Amino acid sequence: MRSLCQLEEIGIGCFGCCGHSWTKEGEVNRDIKKNTIRYKEHEDDLVFLHKEASSIRPSGGCYNLVQLSSGKVGCSLHPCQHSGKDLRDNVCDKDYLCKTNHLFQSWSKEKQDKFIRFLNTKKLTPFEYSMGMDRGLLLKEFDSLGAGK
């Protein structure tokens, strides 16, 4: 199943659902850097990571939102970070799927490919990608271009 959450084709990850009341891009990026440092210092202390998981930084992001080894931004508690073990239970709504990704899943491969090509032309930062996905702005722009028909 293709997912817009960690989109391999353009090497970007979405974190729109990993927080709320987002502030400015610079503030979010600064907090992601702080989280990444904290994560690397305590990577083996899963109790520590889990304890802070439900907290939200002033910029709007979860404390477990980090720069992953892949270079993309994502959740430090995600199963891909812990040999398949999901540490997000009782921490967040891990089954949440934004409207954009939900619709994307229902599309034909041809339409999905068109959307990915559209996204690739945008040259988005992780913040722009994440906010655009979660708020449905990229979907709306794609539809307005008639590209999805």
Q: How much is the pTM?
A: 0.86
Q: What is the pLDDT of residue 17?
A: 86
C-alpha angle with apex 69: 64 to 71, nearest 5 degrees? 95
Q: What is the pLDDT of residue 45?
A: 62
- List the chain domain ranges: 13-93, 97-149
Mean pLDDT value across residues 105-128:
94
- Considering Cα of 49, then 54, then 55, then 57, what sign does the dihedral take? positive
Whether 37 and 66 have beta carbons less than 8 Å apart is answered as: no
Whether 115 and 9 have beta carbons less than 8 Å apart is answered as: no
Tokens 């998981």: give the residue. 53
Q: Cα dist. 117→39, 114, 136, 147, 148 in Å?
A: 33, 5, 17, 10, 11
141 or 89, which is more confident: 141
Q: What is the pLDDT of residue 48?
A: 58
Helix (H) or strand (E) holding 65: strand 65-67
Return the C-alpha torsion angle 46, 48, 51, 5, nearest 10: -50
